[in-house]
Chain A
Amino acid sequence: MTAADLTRDASGIDGAKQRAIRGIFFACAFLSVLTTLGIVVVLLEGSVDFFRDVSFVAFLTGTEWSPLIEPREYGVLPLVWGTLVITVGSAMIAIPVGTATAIYLSEYAEPRVRSTIKPILEILAGIPTIVYGFFALSFITPQLQRFLPYDIGTFNAAAGAIVVGIMIIPMVSSLSEDAMHAVPDDLREAAYGLGATRFEVSTGVVLPASLSGILASYVLALSRAIGETMAVTLAAGMAPQFTTSPFEPIQTMTAYMVQVGISDVSIGSVGYQSLFAVGMTLFVMTLGMNLCSLWIRSRYREEYR
């Protein structure tokens, strides 16, 4: 018996085809990188045009925002404020409720209950955000008006924060539950063996051991709240203003972009270009959040093996 011929030519393996396949996979992977770069370039270009007409400092420090009507003012702070109100408000709902849900699913629920609730939560995550907006308008705001002794407008920040909070609960609970579920049972047994209650095991052992995953879920959820558009546009209104009252209308950065998008401003006008500057601000904020999430992951890495 002769030795097999192992040379390239005789093997029947088509080297060119293998290289082509590799190239196709690479192109697909590279597409998303290109898209990201493209978006950044577009935002930058538009922003540069905008800042030819408006001073950068005035944009970042001004407290009046009315780029579409006279007298025109280009201070972005009211929009940033609106976004912060929604983000902080929704976090106040989603973080406690989402974390508690995750603890329940991971540590308390029987397998049967868990396998019922988890898919329901994931359905909640799949509902189009505009539907949440209608839900806020047609249910949350009327309930607030009914039960709270304040003068509450049709559009108000509270309804927007509540509805975004509800929207991002599944994100917090699902990702946190995954992180808690990954904590080895060894650690739970160690704690139960020392006479820990279920609550002590959940909060004193499982929660710290899965902290990085939980914090990352918070940051991702907040990042989602910052970028959320339709629900807040519908629920919280289009009135860019500094207000500490949660029952008055506000405008977030995203809601402003919707407003410009559906308005009749002409391309090239300062109003149109403001879209890019606001978009850039939003992009920088969410990028910051994502970097923050990466940092948390490496800083509070799961230490168990």
Chain B
Amino acid sequence: MSDDTSMNETPTIETHTEAKSTDDRSPASEADADVAGMDDQSIGEETVIEARDLSVFYGDERALQPVNVEIPDRQVTAIIGPSGCGKSTFLRSINRMNDMIDVARVDGELLFRDTNVYGEAVDPVALRRAIGMVFQKPNPFPKSIYDNVAYGLRIQGKDDDLDEQVESALRRAALWDEVSDRLGESALDMSGGQQQRLCIARAIAPDPEVILMDEPASALDPVATSQIEDLIEELARDYTVVIVTHNMQQAARISDKTMVFLTGGELVEFGDTSRIFENPDNQRVEDYITGKFG
């Protein structure tokens, strides 16, 4: 079983069939199988991010088995899987945040709008301006609410009509009504949920194409979590959202597509969220989703 079945090149019904037949040919080597069931209504959707045999190593250790996947435009793609399965590693390889780790090394290609982000000519700083990120723990700067949102706009030189842009970002992050009268106050005086929505406002203010979220609600209480979830669905109208979550219900609630990583850094299945949760192709995915494992 090789990775070059190229099932990702055209996201059509044929790939679906091909993947199926792949599985049929060698059901025993399921663990080595490429992503099962590239499926369903993917016709006509534009691909924003595409991984081609993307692997990540930390030193000699392989953190990510070759990943092949196409992430569609303006949808929520959830990445689920047990701890240490490489879901954050994959997420961080999209905007090259793994570059910060000295021992991290990447193989294969990651295309963002058909440009390999690991190509020689690509500047990771420019890449990160097009792909925003929200982190697990709310991490506002120790500055005012206003300056937090304005930070990205300022460094990216998009500081015309700064007030309007800040307001617009706060509105889109469903935070404006709560903070409009105290923009000058320290962001650290806000609640955790507000801080996380502020971080989202900060990420969307410079208007990136893609927003990566690494377990954005895991440090929040249920009410704040539900606000963030509503917000994510709202954001998917304008942005491509890729979200790592350890919470399967959350993935089921908010995402259109789901990637399932299992132990060993292997992408085992990718497809429409409804299908993955109702009728996964892969037995291990089914076991994981139904709670038999992981």
Contact = CB atoms under 8 A, between A and B. Distances in A.
B128 A194 contact: yes
A196 B143 contact: no
Given A190-B140, A190-B202, 17 more contacts: A111-B102, A189-B100, A190-B135, A190-B199, A191-B141, A193-B95, A193-B128, A194-B155, A194-B156, A195-B128, A195-B155, A197-B125, A197-B155, A208-B142, A209-B141, A304-B188, A305-B188
A147 B229 CA distance: 68
Contacts of B100: 189, 192
Contact of A186 (B137, B152, B202): B137
Interface in A205-249: 205, 208-209
Contacts of B188: 303-305
Interface string B130-142: 1011010101111
A9 interface: no
B136 to A, nearest CB: 9
Contacts of A194: 128-129, 132-133, 151-152, 155-156, 202-203, 206
A305 B141 CA distance: 11
Q: Which 7 residue pairs are nearest across A and B when measured between Cβ atoms? A: A195-B129, A193-B133, A186-B139, A194-B152, A303-B142, A195-B128, A190-B139
Contact of A204 (B133, B140, B155): B155
Q: How many B residues are at the interface, by size bracket?
A: 20 to 34
B13 interface: no
A189 B132 contact: no
Interface in B164-217: 186, 188, 199, 202-203, 206
A37 interface: no
A77 B95 CA distance: 61
A187 interface: yes
A205 to B, nearest CB: 6
B128 A110 contact: no
24 contacts: A111-B102, A184-B139, A186-B135, A189-B97, A189-B100, A189-B135, A190-B139, A190-B140, A190-B199, A191-B141, A192-B97, A192-B100, A193-B128, A194-B133, A194-B151, A194-B152, A194-B203, A195-B125, A195-B152, A197-B155, A204-B151, A204-B155, A302-B142, A304-B188
Contact of A191 (B95, B130, B151, B186): B151
B223 interface: no
B28 interface: no
A186 B138 CA distance: 9
A71 B128 CA distance: 73
Indicate the member of A190, A200, A204 with the most B CB atoms within 10 Å. Answer: A190
Q: How many A residues are at the interface, by size bracket?
A: 20 to 34
Contact of A209 (B128, B137, B142, B202): B142
A262 to B, nearest CB: 52
Nearest to A194: B152
Contacts of B130: 195
B126 interface: yes
A187 B141 contact: yes
A184 B142 CA distance: 11
Interface in A253-305: 302-305
A190 B128 CA distance: 11
Interface string A169-208: 0000000000000001011011111111100100011001
Contact of B126 (A111, A190, A195, A305): A195
B217 to A, nearest CB: 16
B50 to A, nearest CB: 21
A193 B135 contact: yes
Interface string B117-129: 0000000011111
Contacts of A190: 135, 139-141, 199, 202
Contacts of B152: 194-195
B192 to A, nearest CB: 11
A304 B142 contact: yes
Nearest to A305: B188
Nearest to B206: A194
Contacts of B95: 193
A190 B143 CA distance: 13
A197 to B, nearest CB: 5
Given A110-B102, A194-B203, A303-B186, A187 B139 contact: yes
A196 B141 contact: no
A209 to B, nearest CB: 5
Nearest to B152: A194
Interface string B143-158: 1000000011001100
Contacts of A197: 125, 155
Nearest to A184: B139
A111 to B, nearest CB: 8
